[in-house]
Homo-oligomer: A and B are copies of this chain.
Amino acid sequence: MTEKPLILVTNDDGIGAPGIKALIAAVQHLGEVVIVAPDSPQSAMGHAVTISKPLRLEKSNLYEPLTAYQCSGTPADCVKIAVDKVLHRKPDLLVSGINHGSNSSINILYSGTMSAAVEGGIEGIPSVGFSLCDFSIDADFSLAAKIASNVAENILTNGLPQGVLLNVNIPKLEATEFKGVKICRQAWAKWEEDFDERKDPNGKSYYWLTGKFVNFDKGEDTDEWALTNGYASVVPVHFDLTAHSALSYLHQWTINP
């Protein structure tokens, strides 16, 4: 490559979050870094895009001398507006995160961090999302940053198959307890929700979403297994949601009106 690779950095915790700061530092030596990230936290935004109101996009001096913009939209909006209005060309790599909290298994669907990576994949950009299994604002990102740097370098050197992006989760462990990186499939797990009902000062009910994460998957090749056994997980992700195995079953149905 004669030109330096162009690397787009985004996240869902907002442009000022410690996790994105750690990610910028981790990939800065690999190319020209441009940051376009939400101006406020956008966790659990899934793959939302903003169509009913306009977006703001403003320069940020947080990471000078690097070019950085904050956007009022969702993580997916950030990727779209970065490509169209900031970079004016497709970047060579998109890195999203480092998220404060796990995005393993079914959490990929709810995750703003991963929606940015998925949007990158749709755009044809080699993309990856990183998440550290630690919600604390004071989380130690050093192990996650090392893994992010290695994964980013691998993507730039080796490329990713067409239509494939990566979901990388890093356990909350000391470097001495860490066993290594595992290539995994998404575990079959879900949240069993339990809404917390409360009364407002006017006596009217309101509800907080809470829940318990339940892993139904006994496989030892899953991201959940890796994370609970001392490994970081790398799951290749695609956005063809077709359940190909169910096509022949449905062909037996009579559904014409």
Interface residues, chain A, CB within 8 Å of chain B?
41, 43-52, 54-57, 73-74, 76-77, 80-81, 83-85, 106, 108-110, 115, 118, 122-123, 143, 146-147, 149-151, 154, 158, 160-161, 163-164, 166-167, 180-181, 183, 185-186, 188, 190, 193-195, 197-198, 204-209, 234-247, 249-251, 253-257
Contact = CB atoms under 8 A, between A and B. Distances in A.
Contact of A207 (B55, B150, B194): B55
A245 B118 CA distance: 17
A185 B242 contact: yes
Contact of A181 (B166, B195, B243, B255): B255
A109 B202 CA distance: 38
Nearest to A124: B190
The 5 closest A-B pairs by CB, nearest first: A46-B47, A236-B246, A46-B46, A238-B243, A146-B257
A110 B48 contact: yes
A234 B250 CA distance: 9
Contacts of A256: 150, 180-181
A243 B237 contact: yes
Copies in the complex: 2
A205 B243 CA distance: 43
A127 to B, nearest CB: 12
A186 B242 contact: yes
A220 to B, nearest CB: 14
Contacts of A181: 255-257
A202 B51 CA distance: 22
B48 A44 contact: yes
A53 to B, nearest CB: 9
Nearest to A57: B207
A194 B185 CA distance: 35
A242 B237 contact: yes
Nearest to A144: B257
A41 B52 contact: yes
Contacts of A246: 160-161, 164, 236, 238
